[in-house]
Amino acid sequence: MWKCKDCSLSFSERSELLKHYRIDHRFHSRRCPYPCIHANCPCSSKTCNGLQKHLTRNHPSQESTQKVSSFKCYICDNNQLSTEYDFFLHINQHLKKNEQVSCMFDGCSYKTNIYSSFRTHKWRKHQSCTINVFKSGIIVTSSLSSNPSDSLNSDLNEEVQLDEPTTEESRDFEREFELKLASLLLKLDHTYLVSSTAVNELLEELQHLIGTVSVPLSLKTINQVLGDNDCHVEASVVEELATVLCSSHPIQKAIVKQGPLSTSSKRKSYYRREFGVVSPVEYILDKRNKKSLQYVSVLKILQQILNSDSILIKTANLKGKHQSPESDKAVYSCPFDGEFFRNSTLLSKDCAILLNLYIDNLEICNPIGTSRRKHKICALYWTLGNLSPGCQSSLSSIHLALLVRSNDLKVYGEPLICDLISLDQHGVFLPKLGKCVKGMVQCVIADNLGAHSIAGFLESFSSGHVCRFCTASKSEIQTEQVDSGAFTSRTEDLHSDHLKTIEEQSLNNFCGVKRRCVLSEKLSHFKVTTGFPPDLCH
């Protein structure tokens, strides 16, 4: 029995699974490669033909097993390398640091710390070698439970209820075809930015081809097959059969005038109903001045993305698996290895949802100048911090939350704040886990102007205390050394004292602080001094 790693469908023959990959998963790309159909092989291919070559070369007669494998670095014991490409990329990082690396192929004692020499050796001596001749211990194999929820129990101590794979008899092929077609049209709309008018015209032409032009071709094919098998059927029956086949085609039934995908409005309703699309909501701020904002619910998006088994499993591996072992020579490989993650009271008790907020201003059209700020729009995005750094950098992992005029953000931000407070205090209900999981805002990433505006620091950088990380003034920054003592780091206690001084003495600002941060005031786990890291892009 062969099982698709993407949609969990089962097939009796390997050829049927490959056909399923070629037809149903033909939109795989570099971001979403074709995984090897053997459960104990961690390799993947960019194309279906590449997958076929990999199977011929590495698995000529291998049967399906109930094991999962990953690559383990024999230098630093990193076992989070899921593909062969990731493994060699990791080895190259050791070589670029001039670390001694021995050849990973069995029977070879070659060692070097030079990147170019290792590449030359690998190309000359092991060009035809496969992962099957790696030294023992590099490919780590572990048992795969028949129920995917078992992999989550060790981290969450909760049973995850996953959907049972459908059998061949119970599958609704017509509905699957309709969903695949709708998914394709949704990609045309939102991934490739094809206009609705162009999509409607495409569907009209496609309907004409299937309903009218293909009838004579189907009639010819049926007559040819009947003739080859020496079957004599009346011409009227054959003609009726060809007409019914064309009119009952799933594409034809979906895009006809009464079909669910025939018009733009019907397609949008279909997307919301079948794919759980979360539409933005417009909030009217001021009718007289025509002020409004667009908000996409963070809680609803979280429920949608964490309803996916693959994302939920990656999120469940948060505790312990991304953290480096505590030693004198700890390696900082991702935010999970830092003190913020280790010392968090919420994260130390239970698995929690982490949000990283991104905020920046942009101008889309301003005929009177780019510095007038009249049409400047503030965009706020967020990512799920529980995912690995490689997943977070993908565009598909970045979600829009808020679009509002920059001048209105300080006054109107209620929808987003309400969702963040609800996530902080009550959590979001996840059907797969059957419980509510709390979350927190890990950090807000912005340029200096945006970070100071939200955090409550001075937004002028010409003089005074211009740094949100220390209490040094601009003149001291230009004249004093770092180790002179003028650069006193801001702490939570020190920041609280500054706010208290402002309130008691009714000052406009003190030591670079103007007001309280709305996030630290409303959210129990967010701190000003740790919540606004420097942005490398600025």
Together in a domain, 386 and 349: yes
Q: Which residues of 102-130 are buried (b: 16+ CB within 10 A; e: fewer)?
A: ebbbeebeeebeebeebeebbeeeeeeee
Do residues 456 and 368 touch, judged by C-beta distance below 8 A? no
- In this structure, the answer to whether residues 191 and 269 fall within a common structural domain is yes
Instruction: In whole angstroms, give the CA distance from residue 198 to residue 461.
Output: 49
Residues 532 and 480 occupy one common structural domain: yes
Q: How confident is the model at residue 499 (pLDDT cuts 50, 70, 90)?
A: very high
pLDDT at 149 over 60: no
Q: What pLDDT is stored for residue 423 in this prediction?
A: 92
Residue 118 lies in a domain: yes
In a domain, 159, yes or no: no
* More confident of the two residues 51 and 281: 281
Residues whose CB is less than 8 angstroms from the CB of residue 154 and which lie 6 or more positions away in sequence, other chains included = none
Among 445, 469, 500, the domain boundary falls at: 445
| pLDDT, average across residues 276-284 | 87
Q: Which of 49-53, 392-396, 405-409, 452-456 has the highest mean pLDDT?
A: 452-456
User: Model confidence at 316, in pLDDT bands (50, 70, 90)?
Assistant: low
Do 290 and 398 share a structural domain? yes
pLDDT score at 441: 92
Q: Taking 60 as the threshold, does the pLDDT of residue 146 lie above it?
A: no
pLDDT at 278: 86
| Average pLDDT of span 265-270 | 91
The closest alpha carbon to 525, from 295, 300, 381, 341, belongs to: 341
Is 211 or 83 the better-scoring residue by pLDDT?
211
**Domain end position, chosen among 445, 468, 488:** 445
Q: Residue 61: what pLDDT?
A: 58
Average pLDDT on 104-112 reads 87
| 149 within a domain of the structure (yes/no) | no
Residue 444 C-beta-side C-alpha neighbours within 13 Å: 25
Cα-flanking dihedrals φ and ψ of residue 355, to 5°? Answer: -120, 135
Average pLDDT, the chain: 78
Lowest model confidence (mean pLDDT) among 104-118, 208-222, 232-246, 357-371: 357-371
pLDDT higher than 90, residue 320: no
What pLDDT score does 420 carry? Answer: 92
- 97, 81: one domain: yes
Domain annotation covers residue 152: no
Residues 316 and 426 in one domain: yes
Give the helix, strand, coil percentages of the chain, each rounded to 5.
45, 15, 40
Query: What's the pLDDT at 94?
Result: 85
Residue of 352 and 468 predicted with greater confidence = 468
pLDDT surpasses 90 at 501: yes
Compare 270 and 376 and report the one with higher pLDDT: 270
Residue type, 403: L
Q: Please report whether residue 316 resides in a domain.
A: yes
Residue that wins the pLDDT comparison between 538 and 40: 538
Q: Are strands 439-445 and 353-363 parallel, antiparallel or unpaired?
A: parallel
Residue 504 has pLDDT above 80, yes or no: yes
Please answer whether residues 528 and 495 qualify as being in contact, where contact means their C-beta atoms are separated by less than 8 angstroms. Answer: yes
- Pairing assessment for the beta strands 399-405 and 428-430 based on DSSP bridges: unpaired
**10-14, 323-327, 348-352: which range is least confident on average?**
323-327
**pLDDT confidence of 89, banded at 50, 70, 90?**
confident
Check whether residue 312 and residue 260 sit in a common domain.
Answer: no
Lowest mean pLDDT among 320-324, 384-388, 422-426: 320-324
AA identity, residue 249: H
Residue 508 has pLDDT above 50, yes or no: yes
Return the pLDDT at 297.
92
Residues 44, 34 contacting (CB under 8 angstroms):
yes
Give the chain's end-to-end CA distance (angstroms, integer). Answer: 53
Residue 381 has pLDDT above 90, yes or no: yes
Q: Is pLDDT of 74 > 90?
A: no
In terms of pLDDT, which residue wins out, 334 or 516? 516
Are residue 299 and residue 439 in the same domain, yes or no?
Answer: yes
Model confidence over 115-139: pLDDT tens digits? 888 888 888 888 777 777 888 878 7
Q: Is 464 left (phi over 0), alpha (psi -120 to 50) or beta?
A: left
Assigned domain for 165 exists = no
Which pair of structure tokens corresponds to residue 57? 């070369």
pLDDT beyond 90 at 385: no
pLDDT digits (tens, 9 = 90+) for 453-476: 889 999 888 888 899 999 888 888
Do 80 and 130 lie in a common domain?
Answer: yes
Same domain, 245 and 178: yes
Residue 324 binned pLDDT confidence (cut-offs 50, 70, 90): very low
430, 445, 460: which is the final residue of a domain? 445
- Taking the C-alpha atoms of residue 5 and residue 37, their distance in angstroms, rounded to an integer, is 7
Q: Give percent of the chain above pLDDT 90.
A: 19
Number of structural domains the chain divides into: 5
Looking at per-residue pLDDT, the higher value among 52 and 146 belongs to 52
In-domain check, residue 155: no
> pLDDT for 11-36, tens place per residue?
656 666 665 655 455 444 444 566 77
Judge whether residue 164 has pLDDT over 60. no
Q: Same structural domain for residues 240 and 314?
A: no
Q: Is the pLDDT of residue 169 over 70?
A: no
Q: Which of 68-82, 213-227, 321-335 has the lowest mean pLDDT?
A: 321-335
| pLDDT at residue 323 greater than cutoff 50 | no
- The pLDDT assigned to 198 comes to 93
The enclosing domain of 35 has a CATH number of 3.30.160
Please determine, for residue 60, whether its predicted confidence score (pLDDT) is greater than 70.
no
Q: Do 139 and 250 belong to one domain?
A: no
Q: What does the pLDDT average to over 91-111? A: 86
23 is in which domain, residue-wise? 1-65
Which region among 9-13, 79-83, 205-209, 353-357 has the lowest average model confidence (pLDDT)? 9-13
Q: What confidence score (pLDDT) does residue 369 get?
A: 60
Q: Is residue 285 within 8 Å of residue 293, measured between CB atoms?
A: yes
Q: 331-358 burial string, b = 16+ CB within 10 Å, else e?
A: eeebbbeeeebeebebbeeebbbbbbbb
Do the strands 399-405 and 291-295 form a parallel or antiparallel pair, or are they unpaired?
antiparallel
The pLDDT of residue 49 is above 60: yes
The pLDDT value given to residue 2: 61
Q: Would residue 468 count as lying in a domain?
A: yes
User: pLDDT at position 341, please?
Assistant: 73
- So what's the pLDDT on residue 34? 67
What's the pLDDT at 141?
Answer: 64
